Each structure stands twice: as structure tokens, then as C-alpha cells.
């Protein structure tokens, strides 16, 4: 448990040339093996070893800023949403773009379901539409002989959930532990829970500010906060924690006194981390006592994304300064902190 973290210098991952807008980890894919993907305004999302930050590859193909990037739970697929009006699905082993999903406006959010073989992707953005794509139903067929050996691909079919309901840009999409529930956070200051079976909202909550981040923590163990995970939302100067198993049910909200752009909870440790929108500091908080425990310095710009590793032994931050930093969150040696 990270009750007494030892302050050490964070690992800095260079390579991006513009602000880092989002990052997320895969699940554990082997003992002590997991990955991290970062989205950036330089158009080039990057895949790294999650524990060491070592660069593995860059996904090349977007023609606009990449706003969000996520890995499937088994880390075999990556999804990215971009200002070039598209979302892409990538093979993480080859770097190949498997699907290019065209939209009519900037794509700000993408999400895979929490299952081992994801064949579904949710997207959202400035269209104000939540769309669900069935990746298993795209097909490739040989083109005419005059086109040589090229193939043409039929785009995966999609459908919209809750047409006309969102009153602002969809900033984040999260798949619940119940695969029938999808959660959206939008610029109309609303967090909404959707049932895919009825395609209707089953809960909503109004937050006091524009949403900065919205993520689901599933690290709870026996005695944890919620067996269905905890949804963490940063908005304004407040962080909100919702019961992942009960749509719209607030566990608590915490006033931070500062503008927060991002928050990540590790309910097993009963601690959460916030990234500043108006400063360059990372803050660690006690979930139960709602007090700040320590502050991390090292970034040179607002911190747009925070995420815990799947084993809870480090957390990562992505900043306006174009870097990703890995911060140790355990006692004793770990990773490159030896």
C-alpha cells in the first residue's frame, strides 16, 4: 500500500512536440507487464512500456491533433480520436490502422469495453453524438483489376445513442463494468449514463464547471469503495466520485481550492491524484480525509491527464509541456527506481 510514498524524481518520457492531451494504461497483460498510450496535438499518438516509459512505437496517419487515446484491455488494439474528423483503430503490434471511422466534426473521445476481445468502439466529440461502432462487421473485398492489388474496406456499421440529448461537446466516454452501460461527460456540464439495450439515459448529474477528465477506477478490493468501480470526474475546482454500479449516484465531491484539469483515483489505496489547469503541480490526496498529502513538481504547463498504472505502483501525468511523467507510488524498489 502507498501509505508512505517516498518522494523520488519522476521519469520523464520525451518524444512529443506539442501538448499531451490524454494518456491511459492497459490492464496487466502479464506479470508486471502493461502499456501506456499518449495522445498529443502533434498528431502522433505514442505507445510505451507502462512501467519504464520506454518508447515502443508511434502511430502515423492522423492529420490533426489527437485528443484522446485508449488501449483495449489486452493491449492488442489502440483507438484514437482526432481533430481531422476521424477516429482510428490500430494494431499495436504492427502499427497498422485497421479502421478509419469518419465523422462530421472533431472526435474528442473514444472508448473500448472492458473485455478481453474488444470488437466495439464508442466515439464522441463536437458532433455532440455518442456513436457505437461494431468493428467485427467491417469487411475487405478485392477491388477492380485496374486498381492493382489494393483492397477496399467497408466501414464498420454504427448507430447513435440518445440523438439530440447532448448539449455540448462530448469530452470523455467511459464503459462501465456492466457492458450495457456507457458513461459520457460533456461540455454542457452533464455526466450521463446510457443503457445500450434501450439507447436511453438511465441517470445524469450536473457538475459545477466544464468537465476536464472522466475515468473509471476498478482497483477496489475487499473493503473497497464500490465493487462496480468508481467514476472520477474533474470539473472546475471540484472532483466528483460516483458509484460505478449505480448510475448517477454520487459517493462524494471534494473541493480542491484550485482549478483541476484531471483526476485519477486508486480506491484500493484510498488516494487520488489531481492535475492542475492553472498551475503545473501534481497533488496527491487522501480520499477519506479529503486533504492534500503531497505535491509533485516537474511539469512546466497544465496537467491535462492523470492515470494510475493497473498495479497501482505508479501514476502517469500528461502535460501542456509536451511530456509524459511517471511518478512512483509505492515503497521499495520498482521499475527503473532501483
* Average of per-residue pLDDT across 292-316: 95
Residue 152 scores a pLDDT above 60: no
Mean pLDDT estimate for the chain: 90
CA 110 to CA 91: how far, in whole Å?
16
What pLDDT sits at residue 218? 82
φ/ψ of 332, rounded to 5, equals 80, 175
* Average of per-residue pLDDT across 19-47: 95
Residue 249 scores a pLDDT above 70: yes
* Average of per-residue pLDDT across 179-184: 94
User: Could you say which architecture CATH assigns to the domain 11-328?
Assistant: 7 Propeller (2.130)
**DSSP per-residue letters across 35-47:** EEEEEETTS--EE
Residue 139 scores a pLDDT above 80: no
pLDDT-derived band at 142, boundaries 50, 70, 90 = very low
> Would you kindly state where each structural domain of the chain is located, as residue ranges?
11-328
CA 158 to CA 68: how far, in whole Å?
20
Long-range contacts of 55-60 (CB under 8 A, 24+ apart): 55/13, 55/15, 57/92, 57/95, 58/15, 58/95, 59/88, 59/90, 59/95, 59/97, 60/95
Q: What is the pTM of this model?
A: 0.91
What separation in angstroms does the CA of 196 have from each of 163, 199, 227? Answer: 13, 5, 21
- What cell numbers appear for 300 in the block? 512546466
Torsion of CA 321, 325, 329, 332, to 10 degrees: -140
What pLDDT sits at residue 1? 44
What pLDDT sits at residue 140? 45
Residue 145 scores a pLDDT above 80: no
Residue 221 scores a pLDDT above 80: no
pLDDT in tens, 52-81: 999 999 999 999 999 999 999 889 999 999
Residues 214, 202 contacting (CB under 8 angstroms): no
Say whether 159 sits in a helix, a strand or coil. Answer: strand
Amino acid at each position: 500500500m502507498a501509505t508512505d510514498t517516498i518522494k523520488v524524481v519522476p521519469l520523464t518520457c520525451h518524444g512529443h512536440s506539442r501538448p499531451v492531451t490524454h494518456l491511459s494504461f492497459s490492464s496487466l497483460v502479464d506479470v508486471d507487464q502493461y502499456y501506456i498510450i499518449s495522445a498529443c496535438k502533434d498528431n502522433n499518438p505514442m505507445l510505451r512500456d507502462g512501467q519504464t516509459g520506454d518508447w515502443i512505437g508511434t502511430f502515423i496517419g492522423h492529420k490533426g491533433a489527437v485528443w484522446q487515446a485508449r488501449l483495449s484491455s489486452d493491449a492488442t488494439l489502440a483507438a484514437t480520436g482526432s481533430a481531422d474528423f476521424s477516429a482510428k483503430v490500430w494494431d499495436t503490434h504492427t502499427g497498422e490502422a485497421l479502421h478509419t471511422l469518419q465523422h462530421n466534426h472533431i472526435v474528442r473521445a473514444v472508448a473500448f469495453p472492458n473485455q478481453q476481445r474488444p470488437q466495439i468502439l464508442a466515439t464522441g466529440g463536437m458532433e455532440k453524438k455518442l456513436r457505437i461502432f461494431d468493428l467485427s462487421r467491417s469487411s475487405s473485398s478485392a477491388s477492380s483489376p485496374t486498381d492493382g492489388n489494393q483492397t477496399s474496406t467497408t466501414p464498420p456499421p454504427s448507430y447513435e445513442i440518445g440523438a439530440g440529448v447532448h448539449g455540448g461537446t462530448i469530452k470523455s466516454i467511459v464503459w462501465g463494468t456492466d457492458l450495457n452501460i456507457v458513461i459520457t461527460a460533456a461540455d454542457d456540464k452533464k455526466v450521463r449514463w446510457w443503457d445500450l439495450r434501450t439507447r436511453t439515459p438511465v441517470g445524469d448529474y450536473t457538475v459545477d464547471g466544464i468537465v476536464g477528465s472522466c475515468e473509471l477506477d476498478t482497483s477496489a478490493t475487499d473493503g473497497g469503495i464500490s465493487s462496480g468501480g468508481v467514476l472520477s470526474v474533474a470539473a472546475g475546482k471540484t472532483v466528483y466520485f460516483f458509484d460505478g454500479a449505480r448510475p448517477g449516484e454520487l459517493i462524494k465531491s471534494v473541493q480542491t481550492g484550485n482549478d483541476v484539469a484531471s483526476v485519477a483515483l486508486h480506491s484500493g489505496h484510498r488516494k487520488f491524484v489531481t492535475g492542475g489547469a492553472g498551475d503545473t503541480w501534481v497533488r496527491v490526496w487522501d480520499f477519506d480525509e479529503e486533504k492534500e498529502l503531497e505535491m509533485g513538481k516537474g511539469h512546466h504547463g497544465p496537467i491535462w491527464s492523470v492515470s494510475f498504472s493497473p498495479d497501482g505502483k505508479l501514476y502517469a501525468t500528461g502535460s501542456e509541456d509536451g511530456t509524459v511523467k511517471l511518478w512512483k507510488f509505492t515503497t521499495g524498489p520498482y521499475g527503473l527506481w532501483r
